[in-house]
Chain A
Amino acid sequence: MEIMWIEKILLVVIVFAISLGTAAYSTLAERKVSAFLQDRIGPNRAGIFGILQPIADGVKLFFKEEIIPANADRFLFVLGPSLFMITALMTSAVIPWGKPLDLGGRMFDLQVTDINIGVLYVFAVVSIGVYGIMIGGWASNNKYSLMGALRASSQMISYELAMGLSIIALIMMSGSMSLKEIVAQQSGELYGISFLKGMNWNIFYQPLGFLIFIVCAFAECNRTPFDLPECEAELVGGYHTEYSSMKLGLYLFAEYVNMFVSSAMMASLYFGGYNVPFLEMLNLPYNVEVFVGVLAFFTKIIFFIFFFMWIRWTIPRFRYDQLMKLGWKVLIPLAILNILLTGFGMILTK
Protein backbone atom coordinates (compact mmCIF):
# COMPACT_ATOMS: atom_id res chain seq x y z
CA MET A 1 0.00 0.00 0.00
CA GLU A 2 2.80 2.39 0.94
CA ILE A 3 4.63 1.66 -2.30
CA MET A 4 1.49 2.74 -4.17
CA TRP A 5 1.58 6.05 -2.33
CA ILE A 6 5.24 6.63 -3.06
CA GLU A 7 4.70 5.77 -6.71
CA LYS A 8 1.77 8.16 -6.96
CA ILE A 9 3.66 10.97 -5.27
CA LEU A 10 6.60 10.33 -7.56
CA LEU A 11 4.30 10.50 -10.57
CA VAL A 12 2.74 13.73 -9.32
CA VAL A 13 6.18 15.27 -8.93
CA ILE A 14 7.20 14.10 -12.40
CA VAL A 15 4.02 15.42 -14.01
CA PHE A 16 4.47 18.70 -12.13
CA ALA A 17 8.06 18.99 -13.29
CA ILE A 18 7.18 18.10 -16.87
CA SER A 19 4.35 20.63 -16.99
CA LEU A 20 6.56 23.39 -15.66
CA GLY A 21 9.53 22.34 -17.77
CA THR A 22 7.48 22.25 -20.94
CA ALA A 23 5.98 25.62 -20.07
CA ALA A 24 9.43 27.08 -19.45
CA TYR A 25 10.72 25.84 -22.74
CA SER A 26 7.51 26.95 -24.46
CA THR A 27 8.53 30.52 -23.66
CA LEU A 28 11.79 29.94 -25.48
CA ALA A 29 10.02 28.06 -28.24
CA GLU A 30 7.56 30.91 -28.65
CA ARG A 31 10.37 33.37 -29.21
CA LYS A 32 12.22 30.98 -31.50
CA VAL A 33 9.11 30.12 -33.53
CA SER A 34 8.09 33.75 -33.84
CA ALA A 35 11.60 34.62 -34.94
CA PHE A 36 11.72 31.85 -37.51
CA LEU A 37 8.33 32.75 -38.92
CA GLN A 38 9.57 36.31 -39.33
CA ASP A 39 12.91 35.40 -40.96
CA ARG A 40 14.86 36.07 -37.78
CA ILE A 41 17.01 33.81 -35.59
CA GLY A 42 15.68 34.51 -32.10
CA PRO A 43 17.49 34.29 -28.77
CA ASN A 44 20.83 32.52 -29.19
CA ARG A 45 23.13 34.16 -26.65
CA ALA A 46 22.28 32.28 -23.43
CA GLY A 47 23.69 28.84 -24.16
CA ILE A 48 23.64 27.10 -27.51
CA PHE A 49 20.40 27.88 -29.38
CA GLY A 50 19.41 29.97 -26.36
CA ILE A 51 18.86 26.82 -24.26
CA LEU A 52 19.48 28.72 -21.02
CA GLN A 53 17.19 31.61 -21.95
CA PRO A 54 14.21 30.45 -19.80
CA ILE A 55 16.53 30.27 -16.78
CA ALA A 56 17.85 33.74 -17.50
CA ASP A 57 14.30 35.05 -17.86
CA GLY A 58 13.23 33.39 -14.62
CA VAL A 59 16.19 34.77 -12.70
CA LYS A 60 15.50 38.21 -14.12
CA LEU A 61 11.85 38.07 -13.05
CA PHE A 62 12.81 36.99 -9.53
CA PHE A 63 15.18 39.91 -9.10
CA LYS A 64 12.79 42.53 -10.40
CA GLU A 65 11.32 44.98 -7.94
CA GLU A 66 7.94 43.91 -6.69
CA ILE A 67 5.37 46.69 -6.80
CA ILE A 68 1.93 46.49 -5.25
CA PRO A 69 -0.11 49.58 -6.15
CA ALA A 70 -1.05 51.76 -3.17
CA ASN A 71 -4.80 51.38 -3.60
CA ALA A 72 -4.75 47.73 -4.58
CA ASP A 73 -6.33 45.05 -2.45
CA ARG A 74 -3.17 43.34 -1.21
CA PHE A 75 -4.66 39.95 -0.44
CA LEU A 76 -6.55 39.61 -3.71
CA PHE A 77 -3.61 41.05 -5.62
CA VAL A 78 -1.45 38.13 -4.48
CA LEU A 79 -4.26 35.60 -4.74
CA GLY A 80 -4.93 36.32 -8.44
CA PRO A 81 -1.74 34.96 -10.02
CA SER A 82 -1.49 32.10 -7.50
CA LEU A 83 -4.99 30.92 -8.32
CA PHE A 84 -4.32 31.15 -12.04
CA MET A 85 -1.17 29.07 -11.71
CA ILE A 86 -2.70 26.49 -9.36
CA THR A 87 -5.69 25.84 -11.62
CA ALA A 88 -3.42 25.62 -14.66
CA LEU A 89 -1.33 22.95 -12.96
CA MET A 90 -4.26 21.02 -11.45
CA THR A 91 -5.70 20.10 -14.82
CA SER A 92 -2.83 17.80 -15.68
CA ALA A 93 -3.90 15.33 -12.94
CA VAL A 94 -6.41 13.43 -15.08
CA ILE A 95 -4.44 13.20 -18.30
CA PRO A 96 -3.35 9.64 -19.12
CA TRP A 97 0.28 9.89 -20.22
CA GLY A 98 0.55 6.33 -21.39
CA LYS A 99 -0.58 2.73 -21.01
CA PRO A 100 0.07 1.22 -17.57
CA LEU A 101 3.69 0.24 -17.10
CA ASP A 102 4.40 -3.41 -16.28
CA LEU A 103 6.60 -3.40 -13.17
CA GLY A 104 7.27 -7.12 -12.78
CA GLY A 105 3.64 -8.18 -12.99
CA ARG A 106 2.27 -5.15 -11.13
CA MET A 107 0.60 -2.59 -13.39
CA PHE A 108 1.52 1.03 -12.76
CA ASP A 109 -0.84 3.61 -14.17
CA LEU A 110 0.80 6.52 -15.96
CA GLN A 111 -2.00 8.78 -14.84
CA VAL A 112 -2.16 10.60 -11.54
CA THR A 113 -5.79 9.78 -10.97
CA ASP A 114 -8.50 8.27 -13.11
CA ILE A 115 -11.72 9.98 -12.08
CA ASN A 116 -14.79 8.75 -13.89
CA ILE A 117 -15.79 12.32 -14.70
CA GLY A 118 -12.32 13.33 -15.95
CA VAL A 119 -13.57 15.58 -18.72
CA LEU A 120 -15.95 17.39 -16.37
CA TYR A 121 -13.14 17.82 -13.85
CA VAL A 122 -10.97 19.51 -16.48
CA PHE A 123 -13.78 21.88 -17.40
CA ALA A 124 -14.49 22.69 -13.77
CA VAL A 125 -10.87 23.47 -12.98
CA VAL A 126 -10.34 25.47 -16.15
CA SER A 127 -13.39 27.60 -15.40
CA ILE A 128 -11.98 28.38 -11.95
CA GLY A 129 -8.92 29.70 -13.79
CA VAL A 130 -10.87 32.71 -14.96
CA TYR A 131 -11.15 33.82 -11.33
CA GLY A 132 -7.40 34.19 -11.27
CA ILE A 133 -7.65 36.74 -14.06
CA MET A 134 -10.77 38.41 -12.68
CA ILE A 135 -9.42 38.76 -9.16
CA GLY A 136 -6.08 40.03 -10.43
CA GLY A 137 -7.69 42.58 -12.70
CA TRP A 138 -10.09 43.75 -10.02
CA ALA A 139 -7.51 43.96 -7.25
CA SER A 140 -5.14 46.07 -9.37
CA ASN A 141 -7.50 49.05 -9.10
CA ASN A 142 -6.67 50.10 -12.64
CA LYS A 143 -9.14 50.67 -15.44
CA TYR A 144 -7.05 48.85 -18.02
CA SER A 145 -6.76 45.83 -15.75
CA LEU A 146 -10.46 45.87 -15.05
CA MET A 147 -11.26 46.08 -18.76
CA GLY A 148 -8.94 43.16 -19.41
CA ALA A 149 -10.49 41.14 -16.60
CA LEU A 150 -14.00 41.87 -17.86
CA ARG A 151 -13.07 40.83 -21.36
CA ALA A 152 -11.39 37.68 -20.08
CA SER A 153 -14.38 36.59 -18.04
CA SER A 154 -17.00 37.28 -20.70
CA GLN A 155 -14.85 35.60 -23.33
CA MET A 156 -14.25 32.54 -21.16
CA ILE A 157 -17.93 32.18 -20.33
CA SER A 158 -18.96 32.44 -23.98
CA TYR A 159 -16.43 29.98 -25.27
CA GLU A 160 -16.72 27.49 -22.46
CA LEU A 161 -20.30 26.86 -23.55
CA ALA A 162 -19.36 26.01 -27.11
CA MET A 163 -16.43 23.93 -25.88
CA GLY A 164 -18.66 21.93 -23.55
CA LEU A 165 -21.21 21.37 -26.29
CA SER A 166 -18.54 20.16 -28.71
CA ILE A 167 -17.34 17.68 -26.09
CA ILE A 168 -20.87 16.37 -25.52
CA ALA A 169 -20.91 14.89 -29.02
CA LEU A 170 -17.66 13.12 -28.25
CA ILE A 171 -18.94 11.80 -24.94
CA MET A 172 -22.09 10.54 -26.67
CA MET A 173 -19.88 8.37 -28.85
CA SER A 174 -17.48 7.17 -26.16
CA GLY A 175 -20.16 6.68 -23.52
CA SER A 176 -17.67 7.59 -20.81
CA MET A 177 -16.29 10.75 -19.26
CA SER A 178 -13.11 9.13 -17.99
CA LEU A 179 -10.17 10.33 -20.06
CA LYS A 180 -8.44 6.98 -19.63
CA GLU A 181 -11.45 5.22 -21.10
CA ILE A 182 -11.75 7.72 -23.97
CA VAL A 183 -8.11 7.29 -24.93
CA ALA A 184 -8.26 3.51 -24.60
CA GLN A 185 -11.24 3.42 -26.99
CA GLN A 186 -9.18 5.13 -29.66
CA SER A 187 -6.74 2.22 -29.92
CA GLY A 188 -9.12 0.18 -32.09
CA GLU A 189 -9.54 -0.06 -35.85
CA LEU A 190 -10.57 2.99 -37.83
CA TYR A 191 -14.04 2.52 -39.41
CA GLY A 192 -13.67 -1.19 -38.67
CA ILE A 193 -10.96 -1.66 -41.29
CA SER A 194 -8.58 -4.19 -39.76
CA PHE A 195 -5.54 -2.73 -41.49
CA LEU A 196 -5.86 0.69 -39.81
CA LYS A 197 -5.08 -0.51 -36.31
CA GLY A 198 -4.49 2.04 -33.54
CA MET A 199 -5.98 4.74 -35.74
CA ASN A 200 -9.47 4.83 -34.25
CA TRP A 201 -9.00 8.50 -33.38
CA ASN A 202 -11.98 10.68 -32.62
CA ILE A 203 -10.80 13.30 -35.11
CA PHE A 204 -12.02 11.00 -37.89
CA TYR A 205 -15.49 10.84 -36.35
CA GLN A 206 -15.73 14.36 -34.96
CA PRO A 207 -13.95 16.76 -37.35
CA LEU A 208 -16.49 19.52 -36.77
CA GLY A 209 -16.37 18.93 -33.03
CA PHE A 210 -12.59 19.16 -33.09
CA LEU A 211 -12.71 22.40 -35.04
CA ILE A 212 -15.04 23.94 -32.47
CA PHE A 213 -12.92 22.55 -29.65
CA ILE A 214 -9.66 23.94 -30.98
CA VAL A 215 -11.14 27.39 -31.59
CA CYS A 216 -12.53 27.41 -28.06
CA ALA A 217 -9.22 26.15 -26.67
CA PHE A 218 -7.49 29.14 -28.24
CA ALA A 219 -10.04 31.40 -26.60
CA GLU A 220 -9.72 29.65 -23.24
CA CYS A 221 -5.95 30.04 -23.28
CA ASN A 222 -6.26 33.73 -24.19
CA ARG A 223 -4.10 33.14 -27.22
CA THR A 224 -4.20 35.02 -30.50
CA PRO A 225 -6.63 35.57 -32.25
CA PHE A 226 -8.53 35.70 -28.96
CA ASP A 227 -5.97 37.49 -26.80
CA LEU A 228 -8.23 40.44 -26.09
CA PRO A 229 -7.86 40.25 -22.28
CA GLU A 230 -4.22 41.24 -22.50
CA CYS A 231 -3.87 42.87 -25.89
CA GLU A 232 -0.82 45.06 -25.59
CA ALA A 233 -1.95 47.58 -28.14
CA GLU A 234 -5.13 48.83 -26.53
CA LEU A 235 -5.10 47.65 -22.93
CA VAL A 236 -1.42 48.03 -22.00
CA GLY A 237 -1.21 44.39 -20.99
CA GLY A 238 -4.80 44.05 -19.78
CA TYR A 239 -5.32 42.28 -16.48
CA HIS A 240 -1.61 42.14 -15.65
CA THR A 241 -0.84 45.81 -16.27
CA GLU A 242 -0.03 46.46 -12.60
CA TYR A 243 1.86 43.24 -11.99
CA SER A 244 5.61 43.05 -11.78
CA SER A 245 8.32 40.61 -10.82
CA MET A 246 7.42 36.95 -10.32
CA LYS A 247 3.68 37.65 -9.96
CA LEU A 248 3.72 38.79 -13.57
CA GLY A 249 5.90 35.78 -14.26
CA LEU A 250 3.26 33.48 -12.79
CA TYR A 251 0.57 34.94 -15.05
CA LEU A 252 2.70 34.61 -18.17
CA PHE A 253 3.92 31.20 -17.14
CA ALA A 254 0.45 29.89 -16.32
CA GLU A 255 -0.60 30.84 -19.83
CA TYR A 256 2.01 28.43 -21.15
CA VAL A 257 1.02 25.72 -18.69
CA ASN A 258 -2.56 26.18 -19.89
CA MET A 259 -1.36 25.82 -23.44
CA PHE A 260 0.47 22.61 -22.56
CA VAL A 261 -2.56 21.15 -20.80
CA SER A 262 -5.01 22.05 -23.54
CA SER A 263 -2.62 20.60 -26.11
CA ALA A 264 -2.57 17.42 -24.04
CA MET A 265 -6.37 17.49 -23.91
CA MET A 266 -6.65 17.89 -27.66
CA ALA A 267 -4.16 15.11 -28.24
CA SER A 268 -5.91 12.72 -25.87
CA LEU A 269 -9.51 13.56 -26.76
CA TYR A 270 -9.22 13.73 -30.54
CA PHE A 271 -5.82 12.43 -31.62
CA GLY A 272 -5.67 9.13 -29.82
CA GLY A 273 -3.48 10.18 -26.89
CA TYR A 274 -0.67 7.65 -26.55
CA ASN A 275 -1.93 5.43 -29.40
CA VAL A 276 0.46 4.98 -32.28
CA PRO A 277 -0.86 3.59 -35.58
CA PHE A 278 0.57 0.22 -36.69
CA LEU A 279 2.67 -0.06 -33.51
CA GLU A 280 1.32 -3.52 -32.69
CA MET A 281 2.66 -4.91 -35.97
CA LEU A 282 6.23 -4.38 -34.74
CA ASN A 283 5.74 -6.86 -31.86
CA LEU A 284 7.79 -4.81 -29.41
CA PRO A 285 8.14 -5.77 -25.74
CA TYR A 286 5.23 -4.37 -23.74
CA ASN A 287 7.16 -1.76 -21.75
CA VAL A 288 8.92 -0.48 -24.86
CA GLU A 289 5.52 -0.13 -26.47
CA VAL A 290 4.37 1.93 -23.48
CA PHE A 291 7.45 4.09 -23.78
CA VAL A 292 6.92 4.67 -27.51
CA GLY A 293 3.31 5.56 -26.70
CA VAL A 294 4.38 8.19 -24.17
CA LEU A 295 6.83 9.62 -26.71
CA ALA A 296 4.10 9.73 -29.35
CA PHE A 297 1.80 11.50 -26.93
CA PHE A 298 4.42 14.16 -26.26
CA THR A 299 5.11 14.54 -29.97
CA LYS A 300 1.42 15.25 -30.47
CA ILE A 301 1.41 17.73 -27.57
CA ILE A 302 4.47 19.51 -28.94
CA PHE A 303 2.88 19.71 -32.35
CA PHE A 304 -0.20 21.37 -30.86
CA ILE A 305 1.91 23.81 -28.86
CA PHE A 306 3.70 24.64 -32.09
CA PHE A 307 0.32 25.07 -33.75
CA PHE A 308 -0.72 27.52 -31.03
CA MET A 309 2.37 29.58 -31.77
CA TRP A 310 2.07 29.20 -35.51
CA ILE A 311 -1.45 30.63 -35.36
CA ARG A 312 -0.35 33.41 -33.04
CA TRP A 313 2.28 34.70 -35.44
CA THR A 314 0.02 34.37 -38.47
CA ILE A 315 -3.30 36.02 -37.81
CA PRO A 316 -4.31 39.26 -36.07
CA ARG A 317 -6.77 39.40 -33.20
CA PHE A 318 -10.50 39.71 -33.45
CA ARG A 319 -12.43 42.84 -32.71
CA TYR A 320 -14.43 42.42 -29.53
CA ASP A 321 -17.87 42.36 -31.16
CA GLN A 322 -16.60 39.88 -33.75
CA LEU A 323 -15.34 37.68 -30.94
CA MET A 324 -18.71 37.65 -29.21
CA LYS A 325 -20.53 37.12 -32.48
CA LEU A 326 -18.30 34.18 -33.34
CA GLY A 327 -18.84 32.62 -29.94
CA TRP A 328 -22.57 32.98 -29.56
CA LYS A 329 -23.91 33.10 -33.10
CA VAL A 330 -21.58 30.69 -34.87
CA LEU A 331 -19.83 28.24 -32.56
CA ILE A 332 -22.72 27.42 -30.22
CA PRO A 333 -25.25 26.71 -33.04
CA LEU A 334 -22.55 24.70 -34.83
CA ALA A 335 -21.85 22.70 -31.69
CA ILE A 336 -25.57 21.94 -31.27
CA LEU A 337 -25.77 20.93 -34.93
CA ASN A 338 -22.78 18.67 -34.32
CA ILE A 339 -24.58 16.99 -31.43
CA LEU A 340 -27.63 16.38 -33.65
CA LEU A 341 -25.49 14.99 -36.48
CA THR A 342 -23.65 12.72 -34.07
CA GLY A 343 -26.97 11.46 -32.71
CA PHE A 344 -28.27 10.68 -36.19
CA GLY A 345 -25.02 9.01 -37.11
CA MET A 346 -25.15 6.83 -34.02
CA ILE A 347 -28.71 5.75 -34.73
CA LEU A 348 -27.91 4.98 -38.37
CA THR A 349 -24.81 2.92 -37.65
CA LYS A 350 -26.32 0.99 -34.77
Chain B
Amino acid sequence: MSVLSLTNRKKVLQKRKLTFAESIYLPAIFSGLMITIRHFFRRKSTVQYPEVKKPFSKVFRGRHILKRDEQGRENCTACGLCAVACPAEAITIVAAERKKGEEHLYREEKYAAVYEINMLRCIFCGLCEEACPKDAIYLTEETAPASYSRKDFIFGKDKLVQPLGTSAHPKTFKPYVKDNKPYQYKNPVNTKI
Protein backbone atom coordinates (compact mmCIF):
# COMPACT_ATOMS: atom_id res chain seq x y z
CA MET B 1 0.00 0.00 0.00
CA SER B 2 1.43 3.30 -0.99
CA VAL B 3 0.83 6.23 1.30
CA LEU B 4 0.74 9.73 -0.09
CA SER B 5 3.83 11.55 1.05
CA LEU B 6 3.91 15.33 0.96
CA THR B 7 7.60 15.69 1.70
CA ASN B 8 10.64 13.52 1.21
CA ARG B 9 11.65 14.06 4.83
CA LYS B 10 9.26 11.48 6.20
CA LYS B 11 10.91 9.02 8.56
CA VAL B 12 9.25 5.84 9.73
CA LEU B 13 10.06 5.19 13.36
CA GLN B 14 9.83 1.81 14.96
CA LYS B 15 10.11 1.21 18.65
CA ARG B 16 12.88 -1.23 19.39
CA LYS B 17 15.00 -2.25 22.32
CA LEU B 18 17.86 0.16 22.98
CA THR B 19 21.36 -1.07 22.31
CA PHE B 20 23.79 -1.14 25.21
CA ALA B 21 25.51 2.05 24.10
CA GLU B 22 22.17 3.82 23.92
CA SER B 23 20.90 2.50 27.22
CA ILE B 24 23.84 3.84 29.23
CA TYR B 25 23.10 7.33 27.85
CA LEU B 26 26.73 8.44 28.11
CA PRO B 27 27.69 8.40 24.40
CA ALA B 28 24.55 10.34 23.56
CA ILE B 29 25.24 12.83 26.33
CA PHE B 30 28.81 13.20 25.12
CA SER B 31 27.76 13.91 21.54
CA GLY B 32 25.19 16.39 22.85
CA LEU B 33 27.92 18.15 24.81
CA MET B 34 30.04 18.36 21.68
CA ILE B 35 27.17 19.97 19.80
CA THR B 36 26.58 22.61 22.44
CA ILE B 37 30.26 23.42 22.86
CA ARG B 38 30.49 24.03 19.12
CA HIS B 39 27.73 26.59 19.50
CA PHE B 40 29.69 28.16 22.38
CA PHE B 41 32.35 29.38 19.96
CA ARG B 42 30.01 30.21 17.11
CA ARG B 43 29.26 33.77 16.02
CA LYS B 44 26.34 35.11 18.00
CA SER B 45 23.19 36.06 16.18
CA THR B 46 22.06 38.69 18.69
CA VAL B 47 21.32 42.18 17.38
CA GLN B 48 22.16 44.75 20.07
CA TYR B 49 18.81 46.43 19.64
CA PRO B 50 18.76 50.05 20.71
CA GLU B 51 22.23 50.61 19.28
CA VAL B 52 21.89 48.41 16.21
CA LYS B 53 18.67 48.15 14.27
CA LYS B 54 17.99 45.63 11.58
CA PRO B 55 16.87 47.39 8.42
CA PHE B 56 13.37 46.70 7.21
CA SER B 57 12.76 45.02 3.89
CA LYS B 58 12.31 47.36 0.94
CA VAL B 59 8.69 46.36 0.61
CA PHE B 60 7.94 46.83 4.32
CA ARG B 61 4.53 48.39 4.90
CA GLY B 62 4.35 50.45 8.07
CA ARG B 63 2.19 53.36 9.23
CA HIS B 64 0.58 55.57 6.62
CA ILE B 65 1.52 58.98 5.40
CA LEU B 66 -0.62 61.47 3.45
CA LYS B 67 1.73 63.12 0.98
CA ARG B 68 2.08 66.72 -0.09
CA ASP B 69 3.30 67.79 -3.49
CA GLU B 70 6.42 69.84 -4.20
CA GLN B 71 4.64 73.04 -3.24
CA GLY B 72 3.46 71.61 0.06
CA ARG B 73 -0.15 71.08 -0.99
CA GLU B 74 -2.03 67.98 0.12
CA ASN B 75 -2.43 65.48 -2.69
CA CYS B 76 -5.57 63.86 -1.34
CA THR B 77 -8.77 64.74 -3.13
CA ALA B 78 -11.07 62.68 -0.91
CA CYS B 79 -12.21 60.42 -3.72
CA GLY B 80 -12.71 57.61 -1.24
CA LEU B 81 -11.09 54.89 -3.35
CA CYS B 82 -8.76 53.96 -0.52
CA ALA B 83 -11.70 53.52 1.84
CA VAL B 84 -13.41 51.32 -0.71
CA ALA B 85 -10.28 49.26 -1.31
CA CYS B 86 -9.63 48.78 2.38
CA PRO B 87 -10.53 45.19 3.31
CA ALA B 88 -10.51 46.01 7.00
CA GLU B 89 -12.70 49.11 6.62
CA ALA B 90 -10.24 51.10 8.65
CA ILE B 91 -10.42 54.36 6.69
CA THR B 92 -12.97 57.12 7.28
CA ILE B 93 -13.08 60.18 5.02
CA VAL B 94 -15.18 63.33 5.20
CA ALA B 95 -14.77 65.43 2.06
CA ALA B 96 -14.99 69.20 1.84
CA GLU B 97 -14.75 71.76 -0.95
CA ARG B 98 -11.73 73.95 -1.29
CA LYS B 99 -12.53 77.62 -0.66
CA LYS B 100 -10.92 80.56 -2.30
CA GLY B 101 -7.54 81.38 -0.81
CA GLU B 102 -6.84 77.75 0.13
CA GLU B 103 -5.17 76.85 -3.16
CA HIS B 104 -1.80 76.72 -1.47
CA LEU B 105 -3.08 74.07 0.99
CA TYR B 106 -4.93 71.61 -1.21
CA ARG B 107 -4.06 70.64 -4.76
CA GLU B 108 -7.54 69.72 -6.00
CA GLU B 109 -10.88 71.46 -5.57
CA LYS B 110 -12.02 68.81 -3.14
CA TYR B 111 -10.05 67.72 -0.11
CA ALA B 112 -10.39 65.49 2.94
CA ALA B 113 -11.57 67.49 5.91
CA VAL B 114 -11.36 64.39 8.06
CA TYR B 115 -9.10 61.49 7.22
CA GLU B 116 -8.93 58.83 9.91
CA ILE B 117 -7.30 55.43 9.92
CA ASN B 118 -8.06 53.04 12.74
CA MET B 119 -4.67 51.45 13.35
CA LEU B 120 -6.24 48.61 15.31
CA ARG B 121 -8.30 47.61 12.30
CA CYS B 122 -5.65 48.24 9.66
CA ILE B 123 -3.92 45.11 8.43
CA PHE B 124 -1.17 47.00 6.57
CA CYS B 125 -1.98 45.28 3.29
CA GLY B 126 -1.16 48.35 1.21
CA LEU B 127 -4.29 48.20 -0.93
CA CYS B 128 -5.05 51.87 -0.15
CA GLU B 129 -1.66 52.77 -1.54
CA GLU B 130 -2.43 50.84 -4.74
CA ALA B 131 -5.93 52.27 -5.05
CA CYS B 132 -4.92 55.91 -4.72
CA PRO B 133 -5.02 57.74 -8.08
CA LYS B 134 -3.38 60.87 -6.69
CA ASP B 135 -0.28 59.32 -5.04
CA ALA B 136 -1.59 60.70 -1.79
CA ILE B 137 -1.34 57.77 0.60
CA TYR B 138 1.74 55.68 1.18
CA LEU B 139 2.81 53.13 3.75
CA THR B 140 6.10 54.25 5.29
CA GLU B 141 8.96 52.36 6.91
CA GLU B 142 7.93 53.48 10.39
CA THR B 143 6.02 51.19 12.69
CA ALA B 144 2.77 52.32 14.25
CA PRO B 145 3.57 53.21 17.88
CA ALA B 146 1.99 51.46 20.84
CA SER B 147 -0.42 53.26 23.12
CA TYR B 148 -2.55 52.77 26.22
CA SER B 149 -6.08 53.50 25.01
CA ARG B 150 -8.11 52.58 21.96
CA LYS B 151 -8.85 56.14 20.93
CA ASP B 152 -5.13 56.84 20.56
CA PHE B 153 -5.03 54.32 17.73
CA ILE B 154 -7.38 56.32 15.51
CA PHE B 155 -4.90 58.37 13.55
CA GLY B 156 -6.31 61.62 12.21
CA LYS B 157 -4.81 64.10 9.81
CA ASP B 158 -2.62 65.51 12.56
CA LYS B 159 -0.64 62.27 12.62
CA LEU B 160 -1.01 61.19 9.00
CA VAL B 161 -0.25 64.23 6.88
CA GLN B 162 3.37 64.60 5.93
CA PRO B 163 5.02 67.36 7.97
CA LEU B 164 6.02 70.41 6.00
CA GLY B 165 9.61 70.64 4.96
CA THR B 166 10.14 66.88 4.68
CA SER B 167 11.02 64.97 1.59
CA ALA B 168 8.97 64.01 -1.40
CA HIS B 169 10.25 60.48 -1.03
CA PRO B 170 7.15 58.35 -0.69
CA LYS B 171 8.48 55.89 1.86
CA THR B 172 9.85 58.05 4.59
CA PHE B 173 9.33 61.05 6.80
CA LYS B 174 13.02 61.79 6.76
CA PRO B 175 14.66 64.40 4.54
CA TYR B 176 15.31 62.95 1.14
CA VAL B 177 18.97 63.15 0.25
CA LYS B 178 19.68 63.64 -3.43
CA ASP B 179 23.21 64.45 -4.62
CA ASN B 180 24.14 64.71 -0.94
CA LYS B 181 21.85 67.72 -0.65
CA PRO B 182 18.71 67.50 1.45
CA TYR B 183 15.59 68.17 -0.64
CA GLN B 184 14.07 71.51 0.37
CA TYR B 185 10.52 72.69 -0.02
CA LYS B 186 9.60 76.25 -0.54
CA ASN B 187 7.49 76.97 2.49
CA PRO B 188 4.04 78.07 1.38
CA VAL B 189 2.67 81.18 2.99
CA ASN B 190 0.06 80.91 5.70
CA THR B 191 0.73 77.29 6.54
CA LYS B 192 -1.90 75.66 8.63
CA ILE B 193 -2.49 71.94 8.71
Q: Does A41 contact B (CB under 8 A)?
A: yes
Return B43 CB to nearest CB of chain A, in Å: 8
Chain A CB within 10 Å, residue with most, of B29, B36, B37, B46: B36
Is there contact, CB below 8 Å, between A40 and B33?
no
Q: Does B15 contact A (CB under 8 A)?
A: no
Expressed in whole angstroms, the Cα–Cα distance for A161 and B125 within the complex equals: 65
Is there contact, CB below 8 Å, between B36 and A314?
yes
Return A18 CB to nearest CB of chain B, in Å: 26
Cβ contacts under 8 Å, B16 to chain A: none
Residue of B at shortest CB range from A33?
A: B40
Is there contact, CB below 8 Å, between B39 and A315?
no
Q: A39-B45, A40-B45, A40-B46 are in contact. Are A314 and B40 (CB under 8 A)?
A: no
Residue of A at shortest CB range from B30?
A: A314
The majority secondary structure among interface residues of chain A is loop
> In residues 4-53 of chain B, which contact A (Cβ within 8 Å)?
29, 32-33, 35-37, 39-40, 42-46, 48
Is there contact, CB below 8 Å, between B36 and A40?
no
Expressed in whole angstroms, the Cα–Cα distance for A237 and B45 within the complex equals: 30
Is there contact, CB below 8 Å, between B44 and A41?
yes
A314 in complex: contacting residue of B29, B43, B44, B46, CB < 8 Å:
B29
Cβ contacts under 8 Å, A313 to chain B: 36
Q: A314-B29, A315-B29 are in contact. Are A39 and B36 (CB under 8 A)?
A: no
| Band of interface residues on B | 10 to 19
Cβ contacts under 8 Å, B29 to chain A: 311, 314-315
Residue of A at shortest CB range from B33?
A: A314
Tell me the number of A-to-B contacts counted with CB atoms below 8 Å: 34
Is there contact, CB below 8 Å, between A310 and B37?
yes
Is there contact, CB below 8 Å, between B46 and A36?
no
Is there contact, CB below 8 Å, between B46 and A315?
no
> In residues 36-73 of chain B, which contact A (Cβ within 8 Å)?
36-37, 39-40, 42-46, 48
Is there contact, CB below 8 Å, between A37 and B36?
yes
Q: Does A38 contact B (CB under 8 A)?
A: yes
Expressed in whole angstroms, the Cα–Cα distance for A249 and B36 within the complex equals: 29
Is there contact, CB below 8 Å, between A40 and B44?
yes
Is there contact, CB below 8 Å, between B33 and A38?
no
> In residues 72-96 of chain B, which contact A (Cβ within 8 Å)?
none
Return A64 CB to nearest CB of chain B, in Å: 26
Cβ contacts under 8 Å, B46 to chain A: 39-41
Is there contact, CB below 8 Å, between B33 and A36?
no
Expressed in whole angstroms, the Cα–Cα distance for A38 and B43 within the complex equals: 10
Is there contact, CB below 8 Å, between A311 and B42?
no
Expressed in whole angstroms, the Cα–Cα distance for A33 and B44 within the complex equals: 12
Expressed in whole angstroms, the Cα–Cα distance for A239 and B117 within the complex equals: 51
B39 in complex: contacting residue of A39, A41, A311, CB < 8 Å:
A39
Q: Using an 8 Å CB-CB cutoff, how does the interface string of A36-53 with B read, 1 for contact, 0 for none? A: 111111000000000000
Return B30 CB to nearest CB of chain A, in Å: 10
Return B83 CB to nearest CB of chain A, in Å: 45
Cβ contacts under 8 Å, B44 to chain A: 36, 39-41
Residue of A at shortest CB range from B32?
A: A314
Cβ contacts under 8 Å, A311 to chain B: 29, 33
Q: Using an 8 Å CB-CB cutoff, how does the interface string of A222-257 with B read, 1 for contact, 0 for none? A: 000000000000000000000000000000000000
Expressed in whole angstroms, the Cα–Cα distance for A239 and B43 within the complex equals: 38
Expressed in whole angstroms, the Cα–Cα distance for A256 and B13 within the complex equals: 41
Return B106 CB to nearest CB of chain A, in Å: 49
Is there contact, CB below 8 Å, between B32 and A36?
no
Q: Which 3 pairs between the two chains have the least Cβ-Cβ distance?
A: A41-B46, A314-B36, A37-B36
Residues of B whose CB lies within 8 Å of any CB of A are 29, 32-33, 35-37, 39-40, 42-46, 48
A-B contact pairs, 13 of them (CB 8 A): A33-B40, A36-B39, A37-B39, A37-B40, A39-B44, A40-B45, A40-B46, A41-B46, A41-B48, A311-B33, A314-B29, A314-B32, A314-B33
